[in-house]
């Protein structure tokens, strides 16, 4: 995939929300359809940068089902690329809506040890502030819905101090 694909999926991921008075319903539908189309074209060969683009695209509070295609796309990546790509997009992940963050962490966790180890290794290269924020995010989701199952707790191990 080209860098144009990465830019476009991030742009289209900012889905039009209910109450948007500036976007026509036709434009909202076009963007939703294009987002799903872009996510459905993912083969998994796009590397960690492709994963990072998908994570960065999860910007809308209400996705109206479009992000299911993005979640399926994440599942097509080799697990090592998935883990590294999520870590590459840590800044975007931290700014995503709560449910989007939880879904990404759950997909990462359920993808197994290769994905998690790749994530844990790559997250060590980000600054201490981002490490602290991602640790807090994981702890939040372990206490809430997304990572609350016993088998999901403590899987993404964040570096400490």
Instruction: Kindly list the domain boundaries of the chain, sorted by start residue.
Output: 3-143
Question: Cβ distance 50 to 88 under 8 Å?
Answer: no
Mean pLDDT of 93-108: 91
**Digit-coded pLDDT (tens) for 13-25:** 999 999 899 999 9
User: pTM of the full predicted structure?
Assistant: 0.87
Which residue did the predictor score with more confidence, 155 or 138? 138
What is the model's pLDDT at position 158?
46
What is the model's pLDDT at position 153?
46
Mean pLDDT of 114-133: 91
* Angle, vertex CA 159, rays to CA 156 and CA 161, nearest 5: 150
């Amino acid at each position: 995939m080209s860098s144009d694909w990465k830019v476009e999926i991030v742009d289209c991921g900012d889905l039009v929300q209910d109450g948007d008075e500036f976007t026509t319903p036709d434009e909202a539908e076009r963007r939703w359809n294009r987002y799903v189309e872009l996510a459905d074209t993912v083969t998994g060969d796009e590397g960690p940068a492709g994963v990072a683009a998908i994570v960065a695209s999860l910007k809308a509070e209400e996705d109206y089902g479009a992000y299911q295609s993005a979640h399926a796309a994440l599942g097509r990546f080799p697990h090592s690329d998935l883990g590294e790509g999520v870590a590459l997009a840590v800044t975007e992940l931290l700014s995503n809506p709560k449910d989007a963050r939880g879904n990404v962490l759950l997909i990462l966790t359920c993808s197994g040890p290769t994905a998690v180890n790749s994530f844990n290794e790559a997250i060590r290269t980000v600054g201490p502030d981002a490490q602290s924020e991602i640790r807090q995010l994981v702890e939040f989701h372990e206490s809430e819905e997304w990572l609350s199952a016993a088998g999901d707790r403590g899987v993404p191990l964040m570096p400490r101090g």
